[in-house]
Structure formats: C-alpha cells, structure tokens
Structure 1
Amino acid sequence: MKLIADVDQPGSRVDKYVSLLSSVLSRKAAGIVNLQARLARFQRHLQEHEILKEAL
C-alpha cells in the first residue's frame, strides 16, 4: 500500500515516466501521420504515372 501511495503522489517517478512516454508516443504518432501523407502522395504519383504510361 505504501508503494501505491508513493506512486500516487504528484512528481513521482512513475508520473514522470508516464508523462515522458506520452510525449514520445505523441511524437511517434505525428511521424506516422506524416509518413502516411507522404505515402498517399507517392501512391497518387504512381497512379498518375500509370495513367500517362497507358495513354502512350
């Protein structure tokens, strides 16, 4: 019970760890969204290239 009481205190090491982890996950999620957008642009480029190639 003492351990739970210690962890439940503001500024505890677990609190700091969770905050840091949340920050890291937010950055990773933003990176994934960016990568998905780049992939979508690349896919559109490939589709446009195929359309042009078929027209020739």
Structure 2
Amino acid sequence: MSNEQTCHVSVRQKNDTSWYYVLTVDGEAGPQIGPYKTEQEAQAAGEKELADLDLSTDE
C-alpha cells in the first residue's frame, strides 16, 4: 500500500469567459478558484498552490 498522493490541476472556462482552476487530490476535487483572465494564468496559479502545499502534479 502506498502513501503517495495523486494530485493534479484542472482548468476550465466558465460562461463569463473567465478561467478557474480546481485542485484534485487523491480523487477528491476542491473548490473552483478564480477568476483568471487566461487559461495559462489559471494553470500557473493552480500549480503554484500545489507547490505551496508541497504537493506535486501527476501528468
């Protein structure tokens, strides 16, 4: 059995043309965070939050 967490950032656009990210850790999605002006800004912010939480992304 492994204690390793699986983590990733999902980015999506909403109807208001803003971008949001969601962190998923061990299959459980967190809240949508945003808005951001671009997909790249949302992705970078999500990856930074994972780094700040000392979690790594699985790609």
Q: Above 0.5 in TM-score? A: no
Counting helix residues as a fraction of each chain, which structure ranks higher?
1
Bigger-Rg structure (1/2): 1
Counting strand residues as a fraction of each chain, which structure ranks higher?
2
Instruction: Determine which structure has greater relative contact order: mean sequence separation of CA pairs < 8 Å that are 6+ residues apart, divided by chain length.
Output: 2
Q: When the two structures are superposed, what TM-score results if normalisation uses the length of structure 1? A: 0.32
Q: When the two structures are superposed, what TM-score results if normalisation uses the length of structure 2? A: 0.30
